[in-house]
Structures are given as structure tokens and as C-alpha cells.
Structure 1
């Protein structure tokens, strides 16, 4: 695995952060328990950025049309999205969030 620092690790539980790295978009999520996750940053429904997505009961909600994705797996859990989004290996190290965008 090749982890690359993408943003400071000051992401509060229950929040998201949209980042772009090496020409791709990612959504970093810290769930309510404090675990860190990374998903594709574009909604599978309309390919709009998930920037501003909200965390609710183990899911992220697209700010554009309300599509719902499971945080841990990226699975679509409600229309209008019927396809999930990819998840990526992510970790915290030395105050940074690092992403393996080559996995």
C-alpha cells in the first residue's frame, strides 16, 4: 500500500471532508464512533461532488439529491442512487489523514 497525506486529521466525529488528490475526488468521513473512512467523492447518482455530505446513522447523505451510502462499505442504501461508491484504505499518521489511492 502507498499512503499519501491528503489533509490534517482534525476531522470531528460525525463529519465529512471533501478532498481532491491526484486528479480524483474523495470524501473523508469520521463516523460517530470516531473511526475514519474514505469513499469516492462523487455521488454515483449524478456524479456531483459529495462536498457537504452529512453523516447520519452509519450513512452519508448526498447534499444534492439525498442519496444515501453506507459509510463502511459505500453501498447505496436509498434512491436516487442504485450503485454504491468505492471505499479506499485510509489511516491517520503524524497528525495527517493518509489515503491509499492506488489500492
Structure 2
């Protein structure tokens, strides 16, 4: 399994960080329990960046139109999005958050 470091792991619980890596966008999420998750960084509704997305009750909320996505699967959980976003396995290692881009 190949992991690619993307961002420092100093993301507070219940927050997100938008990162770009090798031409792709990702949203790194730390849930309220401190676990790290990673999703595609573009909303499936309008392909706008999820930068600034909020975390609420296990979902991220798109800052543009309010679409909701499950942080553990990427599944769409509220309109206007009708399809989910990709989810990537994530782990913390040596002060960095790494995503498995080849699950």
C-alpha cells in the first residue's frame, strides 16, 4: 500500500483542511473523536472546492450550497448533491497525515 503525505496532523477535532497534491484536491477531516478521514476535495454537486467545509454529526457540509457527505464513506447525505465523493484511507505517521491514493 502506498501512502502519500499531504498535510501536518495538527488539525483540531471537528475541523477540516483542504489540500492539493499532484494536481488533485482532497478534504482532510478530523472527526470529534480525533479520527482522521479523507474525501475528494471537490463537491459532486457543482465541482466546487470543499475548502471551508464544516463538520456536523459525522458529515461535512459544502460551504457553497450545503450538500452533505458522510465523512466515513463519502456518500451523499443531503441535497443538492445526489452522488457521493471518493473516500480515501488516511493515517497519521511522523506528524503528517497520509492518504492511500491506491486503495
TM-score range (shorter-chain normalised) is over 0.9
**How is 1:20-99 mapped onto 2 (pairs within 5 angstroms)?**
20-99=20-99
Q: Cα RMSD between the aligned structures? A: 0.6
Aligned equivalents of 1:99 and 1:79: distance in 2?
27
Q: Which runs of 5+ in 1 are unaligned?
A: none
Aligned equivalents of 2:32 and 2:89: distance in 1?
19
- 1:35-64 C-alpha deviation (Å, 9 max, x unpaired): 100000000000000000000000000000
Corresponding pairs, count: 103
Shift of 1:99: 1.2
Shift of 1:102: 2.6
Instruction: Give the TM-score of the pair, scaled to structure 1.
Output: 0.97
- 1:55-82 C-alpha deviation (Å, 9 max, x unpaired): 0000000000000001101110110000
Q: Which runs of 5+ in 2 are unaligned?
A: none
Runs of 4+ with deviation above 3 angstroms: none
Aligned equivalents of 2:93 and 2:46: distance in 1?
33
